[in-house]
Amino acid sequence: MKKIFILSLLLQSLFSFSQIPNLSDKAIFSVLTVDVANASHTLYGHTALRVNDSIAGFDVVYNYGMFDFSTSNFLLKFTKGDLQYYAAVYPYADFEYSYREENRSIYEQKLHLSLSEKQALFQKLNQSVFSEEKFYTYKFIDRNCTTKVIDVINSVLKDKPIQNNLHKDENYREVLYGYQQGQFWLNFGINIIFGHRPDEQAAVLFLPIDLLEVLKTAQHDGKALAEKPTDLFIATPLDSKFSFWNSIYPLIVFLSIIVLVNKKGLNLFYFSILGLIGLFFVAVNLYSLHREVLWNYNMLLFNPLYLVLAYFLIKNNTIWIKKIALICLLCLGAYLIYLLNKAHLLMMLPLIIATGIVTGRLYLKKEQ
């Protein structure tokens, strides 16, 4: 990150404190797509723009996916949704090197643009890096490295050729689910933190691999906007071995113990987990600006009322145990019905069944 920052400063001194150089007629603009990986911030791939002008003597990448881990209160700002990402420009060689080190494939799609369009796009790119436009508030769906590249290209082309023609019958959650399937706990966490927005039809083109696919058929001035993808680097295939711990089975084992042992202490522990997660979701809904996490119906399962239920269970107050248990069961039933057509139904089903059994026992328990 420090190396890229220094390189960005050097390029800024070249481009921003003098006039932006004119491009030669040999300048090549291309969209770069970096393939997915397993880390949370690499799960969906990456998009950047390359400008290679052999006559003018530079080959650089404009990257809109930059952020600084050393930002004060980084996690709080990311959770709230006001973390500032920024655009940077640096040599293509460093871009390729960094992704070779991560063993992630890089694909290039060269754009068919006129010289005037290239010059306009070049000016836009430098404006987005060397002005107050440099920093932007990241939004998972609406404003990220892919949408920023799309916006800057469409802004200089009158017919705005890059339009989403994918996933017309799918919602965002269904589109994302395929990227997350190999990582159970990450997939689980993402699906329970997401609220209502990801269940909307996937109208926004926001994923790098989807942009790559759209560019294959995009038309500009009656011809193809981009060439077919070429491979700049192909990652070495890695063995994907099954991991018991990164699967649904540990969750099933845990829930089976809760259900089969049926001890008060375990029930208290389980209800406390559900309630605390629910309280966290309430706090996120009140605090966060991310549209994706608002109106989180998963709180019908991870219900803060389970903390109240745990309290009355400690007090052995059977009357209130039954009342709170009934409310929780009704919420659970509503949750199951709402989830019937959702992509993560099967993932959540063990939790729904176990929670229903444990809560139902308390509701049906006779007064002592």
Q: pLDDT by residue (tens digit) across 71-92?
A: 777 777 777 777 889 999 999 9
Please give the single-letter amino acid code of residue 218: A
What is the rounded average pLDDT for all residues in the chain?
91
Mean pLDDT, range 314-337, rounded to an integer: 97
Alpha carbon distance 289, 168 (integer Å): 27
Mean pLDDT, range 21-37, rounded to an integer: 92
- pLDDT band of residue 159 (cuts 50, 70, 90) is very high
Question: What tokens does 39 get?
Answer: 């880390």
- pLDDT band of residue 20 (cuts 50, 70, 90) is low
- pLDDT band of residue 367 (cuts 50, 70, 90) is low
Mean pLDDT, range 347-353, rounded to an integer: 97
Closest CA to 262 of 357, 130, 333: 357
The pLDDT value recorded for residue 6 is 42
The pLDDT value recorded for residue 4 is 45
Residue pair 103/236 in contact (Cβ under 8 Å)? The answer is: yes
The pLDDT value recorded for residue 142 is 94
Asked if the model's pLDDT at residue 257 lies above 70, the reply is: yes
The pLDDT value recorded for residue 19 is 53
The pLDDT value recorded for residue 78 is 72
